[in-house]
Every structure is written in structure tokens, then in C-alpha cells.
Copies of this chain bind each other. A is one copy, B any other.
Amino acid sequence: METPQAAHRIAVDCMGGDMGPSEAVAAVAIALKEGLVGPQDHLVLVGNEEILRLLAREHRIRLSANVSFRHAPAIIAPDDTPMTAMKGKKDASMLVAVEMLKAGEVDAVVSTGNTKVLVGAGTIRLRAMEGAERPALAAIMPRREGHFVMLDVGANPEATPEHLVHNAVLGRIYAQSALGIADPRVGLLTVGTEEGKGGDRINRTHALLKAMGERIRYVGPVEGFDVFGNVCDVVVTDGFTGNIIIKTLEGMVYMVRDLVGPKVRYNPVYLAGGIAMFPLLRELKGHLKPERYGGAPLLGLNGLVMKAHGSSNRHGIASAIRLGREALEAGAGRRMREELAAANAVIAAHPAA
């Protein structure tokens, strides 16, 4: 006997990515073909409907009850701000998708578009979920063994201790659905693991997380080099630090690629060496799985918003659809509200000194 699955409705903003709508539509085709969404689920392709219908035909998407279109002609540009976009581009695919989420027409939105506008519009239109005050962007990153969740990587640069505790709660529940870890270990990112280091904000956050006891598997403060070890599964930080970390890491990866790449290409000995090592690089890439975890949810809003990297290809976007669907399937939103309420009770019982 099979339990009937709940139907999850996901709007895919198809116009926002650097690679154009074709990759987004291809991602929908992958999601349907590979069963990343269930047979009861429904995907709405949001964007220029004429173009999207053409692309859907090209990618052999069967126009069934699983797929529909929503016309939204405008496109958010890289230099748009939340304010310029929400004032002048109400008919942009990203904003139409967010409005569908607000209206309850869908349960989640996936977008590759401008992060600032997505965070701003998501926060303003959807508002924080009950018990939270600010959303947090949660990235999945590789470590020696497996992956970990880091949040916030850019939604709320001025996080209070209470916000950081909320991030811990949200990140823990997300790690359960995204990484399949039953009881994820939570660490607080700071500059030294002795108590009393890192300043008042970290100390108060540390005290509150400890006070949560069994409700959260808090392993204590962690340092920058701990995150790639097997110390914790959820790294809690503020959106200022987290954003700078992921951009600096990305910058270093690109720097090494730029320094090494041309030399390998133009030197036959290096090229031969590189070709010999290709399976290793592929294995390394398989280990790091950049495309398996191509989406970062904006957690703590009334409705699930998944941000995929602007440069995502079809696999990255498909992975964001999958991660969003898994969070919906796990009832993450309801569980986050419950756990935020419990955390807020602990916070209220431990007022700041």
C-alpha cells in the first residue's frame, strides 16, 4: 500500500539566469525525466510564454498536468535593485513568481536571477515566517567527507544573537531534508573556540544555543578551518561574514584556474600531464558535486524561495528544483515554525544581561 504523496507546486523563474531561458527549461525537462519531482507535483514555467513554449517543445517536455506556463515578459537586470525592480518591473518573471508564492498559487519559487532583488523582493513581499525576523540564505558546501550547510551567506548582514539562533534552527531543518542527516551537528563560526572570544554577539549566541539543550545538537564554536573537516553539519554565521567567505573562496578558485588553465592549455607537457590526471579532476568534481547542490534557499520566509547561482546550467537549476521539492516534502516550513517558537521560548527565558 502506497501513501498518496502531497502535491508540491513549484514556480521556476526561467528568465533570470546568465545562460538564458533555455537552461531553465532544460532543467525542468531533467526534473521531470529524472523524477526529481514526484508524479503529483506541478511545475510552472514563468517568463515569456511564447519563448518558453517553443523551448519546452524543443526539450520534449510533455504538456501534461505536471507543467504549466505563466507569462511574464520583463526581465530583472544585473544592475537592478529591489527598489527599481519592484517599482518599474512588476511584470518581471522573478517578481511574478514571488507574487504567485505570496498568493498561495505555488509552494516554492526557483530563480537564477539577481540575488539582491530576490532577497529584497522575497523579504518585502513574503515577509518573515512567524517566529523569525529576517531570512537567511543557506548554501551547501563540500568538505573532505560529504557536504555541510552554511548560513547566512548574504541575506542579513547585521544579524543579532537572536537572528543567529534562528539561523541555527532553520539551517538544521534544511540540512535534514537536503543532506539527509537525521540530527545535524550545529557549529557557531567564530575566531577562537575558547568561550569569551569573538565578542559579545558571539558569546550571547553561544549561551542561547547551549540553553537550547536537546532541541539542537550544538557542538560549540568552530573556526574557519574547521568547516571543511567533520566537525559540524550546519555552520551558523551572519550574512556579512558568510557572504564574504563564499565570495572569497569562489574568488580563490577562479584565481587558481586563471593562473593554471592557460599554462596547461599552451604547454604540451603540462597538457599531457593534465590529460593523464583528468579522471582525478573528474573524481574530485564528482566528490565536490557543485551541481548536485546548485541551489541556496532563502529560509525563514512565508514560502520557500530557492536561489540558484546566476551562472547555473541546467543541472544546477534542476538541483535547485530537487532541493526545494525535498524541503517541501519534509514539511520543512511547518517544522521551522514549530522549532522557531521553541527557540524563541528559550530566548525569552534567557534575556540579555
Contacts and interface: CB of A to CB of B under 8 A. Distances in A.
Contacts of A199: 157-158, 240
Interface string A275-290: 1110010011001000
A273 B263 contact: no
Interface in A232-284: 237, 239-241, 243-252, 254-256, 258-260, 263-264, 267, 269-270, 272-277, 280, 283-284
A224 B248 contact: yes
A249 B247 contact: no
A81 interface: yes
Interface residues of A, number: 59
Number of copies of this kind of chain in the complex:
2
Contact of A144 (B143, B144, B200, B255): B255
A277 B273 contact: yes
Chain A binding site: helix, strand, loop or mixed by DSSP? Answer: helix
A227 B116 CA distance: 21
A190 interface: yes
A247 B223 contact: yes
Interface of A: 81, 116, 142-144, 154, 157-158, 189-192, 194, 197-200, 223-229, 237, 239-241, 243-252, 254-256, 258-260, 263-264, 267, 269-270, 272-277, 280, 283-284, 287
